[in-house]
Structure 1
Amino acid sequence: MMLNFIFLCLSLSSAVTCSKSTASGRSLLAGPPTVTLDYGTFVGFQDSAGITQYRGVRFADAPIGDLRWQAPVFPPSQRLGRVNATQFGKACIAATQTSVTTGTSEDCLFGNVYIPASHQPGTNLPVLVWFHGGGFQGGDSHSATPNPILQSNRSVIFVSFEYRLGQFGFLGGAQIKENGALNAGLLDQRAALRWVQRYICHFGGDSKRVTIWGQSAGAGSTMFQLLGNGGNTGGLFRAAMGDSPSLSYLPSFTDFYVQDIFMQFSGLAGCNPSGEIDVMSCLRSADSNTLALAGSHTIGARASTLFTFAPIIDGTFLAERPVEAFRNGRFAHVPVLFGSNADEGAHWSASLRDGSANTSMPNATETTVFNFIKGQFATFTRPSFDKAVSDFYPLSDYNGSFSLQGQQMYGEMRYICTAALITGAVGGEGLGAYHYHYENPHLGSFHGDELAAFFPGSTAANADDKLLFAAMDDFWTSFVVSEKPTAENGPAASWTSVLTTDGSPHIQLQPQNIVSEKITDALSARCAFWHSLTEELKS
């Protein structure tokens, strides 16, 4: 341990530099692409498209044993020697898992680096960092193979990272505050960004031109990184993007809601918090399977809630809720590109096991819709719901469908209005703020459907879809390069920066129809209503 500690201190105290002759960090000798860092040598590969990949690159120590619910140890404290970086590292354990399954582990703090074929040794490219979605309870980076992005008109290096999930990354409670670190998953992301600053030059990346990006919880992550430490980025990134940023329920670590989850989880893990044992020592000595099962049972006890484990107000990294922070200017003042899809709220309620909160049931009523929303925002009140219905979401607007009414409410309050909030706040500071709305009648406009433009997966795209996707690839990558989205491929419109605090105008992204539009007064009023409830919704 002493040797590890000495190595860690030496690593932290000495900067890592890249010589001009080997700016890419790749071996000048024949053979597979190789990068040597101060804690290991990583051997990658080049795929059939000419993209150089380094997979499963450790960026922090394994967060196991005494390092559970602690801030990540960065840089890695042990020398790794020569590492085969051709396979993904283990994904972080999802909160829904009842055991540690193949391909998952607590030892999951790995990243992946993708270098485009167009990269020329000796030059440093802008860097795009991806944080995956999954409600802070699931997901991984492995499916985000960025070939469309890296084959666009702009050359960027793409980096993706894992971060702790569910009970391993977002368990709250006073006990963790006293003997650990809250929001460990967000701190993992912060460590990943520090890794980029320290090491990306060895892969041919420019640490001064880093943009962070994510979708859903990944977009929520980029939002929280904008808010972290009161908006002080520490120079870790210069711009941020987010597809469908999630404005989730954000109680304080002192709230009963958070402490109740901790108590239940601890008890299910065999560490009765009301007994005489040291709960944190007990939890840190438990095996991974026990903690996985306890987490899944904790989720199972909340049949009307989609995401039990999520970020909370911790008083240090996150001291203020998003609506308040963006209103008060306490966020990172960097250019942003955020947006949402037309049907963000669809399908969520139908996945709930609690029939009284599942609006797809044939016996659904207005109370079912209320229960659905309250299941996600525990302090939501019936009077506020009734006002929402009477003033903004009358059932008659949805042909008497409680399912459609509920999905519109949820989609706007959680995702659509959040993109408007972020871009409106940043635009109000005179910075570049670009807001989009994605709608594709052919392929669908549900939560996550726009990712077909950036990652392989959609086989049903027609010529119009592909033209739209090419333009979107151009928009996103040009923003990474120049902080302004422009498109050379396909139909394109001038993407005007947001001019008003309600996020207007936004660009409409549709096949054969890319136009700049003013946000309607009706949507602006609905968003203003939801944001007026920030204290009640803890959002």
Structure 2
Amino acid sequence: MALLGLVAACASPVANDNLPEVVATDATYQGLSWPEFENGGIFRGIPFAAPPTGSLRWQPPQPLHKDGKPVVATRYAPACIQGDYIVDWYASLIESFGGGPETAARPHGESEDCLYLNIWSPDATPDADLPVMVWIHGGSYKGGWSYEPNYDGRKLAEQGVIVVSIAYRLGALGFLGPNAAQDDVPINFGTMDQIAALQWVQRNISAFGGDPSNVTIFGESAGASSVGTLIIMPAAKGLFERAISQSGGFELLPRPEREDAATGFDKLAAALEAFGASPMTASAEQILSASNAALADYDFGPVVDGGLLPQQPTDRLAAGKLNAADLMIGTNRDEWLMYLDPATIETDLADWTQTHPAAAPLVEEMTAKFGPAATLDQIETAEQMRCPGQALADALSTGSKSVYIYEFNRVRTGALEAGLGSYHGAELPYVFDTHDDWLPTDAVDRRISEFMVRAWAQFARTGDPNFGDGVIWPAYNETGDVLKIDEVREPARPVSENLCAALEATGMTTRKPE
């Protein structure tokens, strides 16, 4: 999920009479000029599928009707319908750093008609063959949008890559549907949208200067979960060459199945009766309200449907049924710290230890050394993210592709005092170099950001994040080591290596972060 509403400190694109124009397979697109790049352009709000409204609600994404008219791609499109879930999170985080919560970013409206993407191209010359990075936003599969200020693609694009950010249907409209219990009835519409966007990239990106054979998918939280899901999904084969997962891994924990989705849809339909509406006649806003009331605890996201997602992810992993891809994967040091309830830390830790007996000795050691809160944070982070993420890294390490793991440990000024530490989403402004005014940022943060922007772009270019700055990021598939990213960067063994080994004998839960 996007945890920071940040504004990039760089020149804005300009609209003038000389709009960059790209003639692609699907249409001709007119964007915004980019002063720093004579041949570049920024294209906002490009439709990649027909609006999923009316009879197309709870249907797979359909091709756009081609009318031959140029697409004016100068404005961001509305976000997929979602309410204030992410905006409220932004406001809370901004307040934690001493800023005004009223400054939290908001999308340019919300709509059921939301299947659009955005492109930052430093050289929109056809067949320039630049690497392509496709960003999938987070938000627990029920919030977030493709152009949150955190996700401004210009700084990455300045490294000579094309950045594409995509939308996908969320919540009940994205991951439920009528007759869900029946085989061959589609459910995973949000994931289908992601695939449709990647197919659009394959058809059209060369006209924007991109190389369709060198596509990297990357995302954070639910976006990272989407990345991992696409790696194990047969329908995504051939749509990307590399993958970057930031604070994911939980996609490999047990997922809902058809029966769960059918029960969820029945609850939604019952709640809609309060509005005198049915699932097909209700407005998107009514569906959102009914979903918030009836499905507050439903685990939105990909459903094991026997088709698009044929098996539970762990079964796919165990059988080696993966789309081969170079992988960069990592977590932040304190992913779960902000989600802990101070009133229940002691009992939560005791309960966790009781249900994970193989890990109990390690947990007792950690508690004596670091205290209950830090220990609970670390074991939850390990169970939900690090350990399943390491399992994905291990699975991809058996082939010919490269695998790199990072551990992001940077704690900004004020973050520890605010009870955040190196929190879930903390790496985002470093990856995109989008550090907002309310976010304490010093010279160390700037240096880390410069490194991460260059390393992410270099990985997209070659499958190896090393670019010759003097610190070697070891290949995990060759050494078993990771790179710790902080004021000082250094290779090391994975921090949760022993804990993950102990958890293997215990099993994992199904909770995931917001």
Smaller-chain TM-score bracket: 0.7 to 0.9
Please point out which of 309, 315, 319 is paired with 1:324: 315
Aligned pairs, number: 463
Counterparts of 1:199-348 in structure 2, within 5 Å, are 199-229=204-234, 233-248=236-251, 250-255=254-259, 257-270=260-273, 282-300=278-296, 302=297, 308-348=299-339
Check if 1:66 corresponds to 2:55: yes
Please point out which of 169, 178, 181 is paired with 1:164: 169
Counterparts of 1:80-99 in structure 2, within 5 Å, are 81-94=69-82
Task: Tell me, yes or no, if the aligned pair for 2:336 and 2:424 is still in contact at 8 Å.
Answer: yes
- Per the alignment, residue 18 of structure 1 pairs with none
* Partner deviation per Cα, 1:114-146 (whole Å, 9 max, x = no partner): 111x66665221111110111111101112112
Check if 1:524 corresponds to 2:510: no
- Per the alignment, residue 496 of structure 1 pairs with 474
Alignment partner of 1:210: what SS?
A: strand
Task: Tell me, yes or no, if the aligned pair for 2:397 and 2:403 is still in contact at 8 Å.
Answer: yes
Moved more, 206-215 or 480-489: 480-489
- Per the alignment, residue 452 of structure 1 pairs with 429
Task: Tell me, yes or no, if the aligned pair for 1:253 and 1:312 is still in contact at 8 Å.
Answer: yes
1:325 Cα deviation after fit: 2.5
**Judging changes above 3 Å, is the alpha-carbon distance between structure 1 residues 529 and 173 closer, same or farther for their aligned structure 2 residues?**
farther
Task: Tell me, yes or no, if the aligned pair for 2:26 and 2:204 is still in contact at 8 Å.
Answer: no
Alignment partner of 2:383: what SS?
A: helix
Alignment partner of 2:19: what SS?
A: coil
CA RMSD of aligned residues (A): 3.2
**Judging changes above 3 Å, is the alpha-carbon distance between structure 1 residues 170 and 534 closer, same or farther for their aligned structure 2 residues?**
farther
* Partner deviation per Cα, 1:410-441 (whole Å, 9 max, x = no partner): 21111222332222211122420111111113
The structure, 1 or 2, with the larger RCO (C-alpha pairs under 8 Å, 6+ apart) is 2
Take 1:159 and 1:398, find their aligned partners in 2: how far apart are those partners? 46
Q: Give the TM-score taking structure 2 as reference length.
A: 0.81
Task: Tell me, yes or no, if the aligned pair for 2:181 and 2:262 is still in contact at 8 Å.
Answer: no
**Judging changes above 3 Å, is the alpha-carbon distance between structure 1 residues 122 and 309 closer, same or farther for their aligned structure 2 residues?**
closer
Take 1:122 and 1:90, find their aligned partners in 2: how far apart are those partners? 30
Which amino acid counterpart does residue 388 of structure 2 have in structure 1? Answer: T
Task: Tell me, yes or no, if the aligned pair for 2:118 and 2:166 is still in contact at 8 Å.
Answer: yes
**Judging changes above 3 Å, is the alpha-carbon distance between structure 1 residues 264 and 127 closer, same or farther for their aligned structure 2 residues?**
same
**Judging changes above 3 Å, is the alpha-carbon distance between structure 1 residues 120 and 514 closer, same or farther for their aligned structure 2 residues?**
farther
1:506 Cα deviation after fit: 0.6
* Partner deviation per Cα, 1:496-515 (whole Å, 9 max, x = no partner): 21137xx921111111x222
Task: Tell me, yes or no, if the aligned pair for 2:435 and 2:441 is still in contact at 8 Å.
Answer: no
- Per the alignment, residue 20 of structure 1 pairs with none
Take 1:121 and 1:497, find their aligned partners in 2: how far apart are those partners? 34
- Per the alignment, residue 484 of structure 1 pairs with 464
**Judging changes above 3 Å, is the alpha-carbon distance between structure 1 residues 236 and 389 closer, same or farther for their aligned structure 2 residues?**
closer
**Judging changes above 3 Å, is the alpha-carbon distance between structure 1 residues 242 and 464 closer, same or farther for their aligned structure 2 residues?**
same
Take 1:478 and 1:384, find their aligned partners in 2: how far apart are those partners? 42
Please point out which of 114, 121, 137 is paired with 1:108: 114
Which amino acid counterpart does residue 197 of structure 1 have in structure 2? Answer: Q
Check if 1:34 corresponds to 2:9: no
Take 2:504 and 2:510, find their aligned partners in 1: how far apart are those partners? 9
Check if 1:360 corresponds to 2:338: no
Take 1:436 and 1:536, find their aligned partners in 2: how far apart are those partners? 24
Alignment partner of 1:220: what SS?
A: helix
Which amino acid counterpart does residue 35 of structure 1 have in structure 2? Answer: V
Task: Tell me, yes or no, if the aligned pair for 1:208 and 1:237 is still in contact at 8 Å.
Answer: yes
1:282 Cα deviation after fit: 3.5
Check if 1:420 corresponds to 2:390: yes
Q: Flag as ranges the 4+ runs of structure 1 deviating above 4 A.
A: 95-98, 118-122, 176-180, 367-370, 398-402, 531-539
Q: Give the TM-score taking structure 1 as reference length.
A: 0.78
Q: Identity of aligned pairs, percent?
A: 26
Identify unmatched segments of 5+ residues in structure 2: 1-15, 87-105, 414-420
